[in-house]
Amino acid sequence: MSRKPVHLAVYDTFADWETGHTTAYLARAGYEIRTVGPGRETVTTIGGLRIQPDLALDEVRPEDSSLLILTGADLWDSGDDLAPFARKARAFLDAGVSVAAICGATAGLAREGLLDDRDHTSAVSFYLAATGYSGGERYVDADAVTDGGLVTAGPTEPVAFAREVFRLLGVYEGEVLDAWYRLFHDSDPEAYAVLEKAAR
Q: Which residues are designated catalytic?
A: 103
Task: Tell me how far apart the alpha carbons of residues 183 and 73 are, in angstroms, rounded to a whole number.
Answer: 27
Q: E-assigned strands of 42-200?
A: 43-44, 50-51, 55-56, 67-70, 98-102, 144-147, 150-153
Per-residue CA distances from 125 to 32, 111, 122, 140 (Å): 34, 14, 7, 8
Per-residue CA distances from 131 to 120, 134, 135, 146 (Å): 14, 9, 10, 21
Taking alpha carbons only, the member of 17, 13, 14 closest to residue 184 is 17
Please answer whether residues 112 and 90 qualify as being in contact, where contact means their C-beta atoms are separated by less than 8 angstroms: yes
Task: Tell me how far apart the alpha carbons of residues 65 and 57 are, in angstroms, rounded to a whole number.
Answer: 13
Bridge-based pairing of strands 144-147 and 150-153 is antiparallel
Q: What element of type H or E holds 33?
A: strand 33-37
Task: Tell me how far apart the alpha carbons of residues 165 and 161 are, in angstroms, rounded to a whole number.
Answer: 6
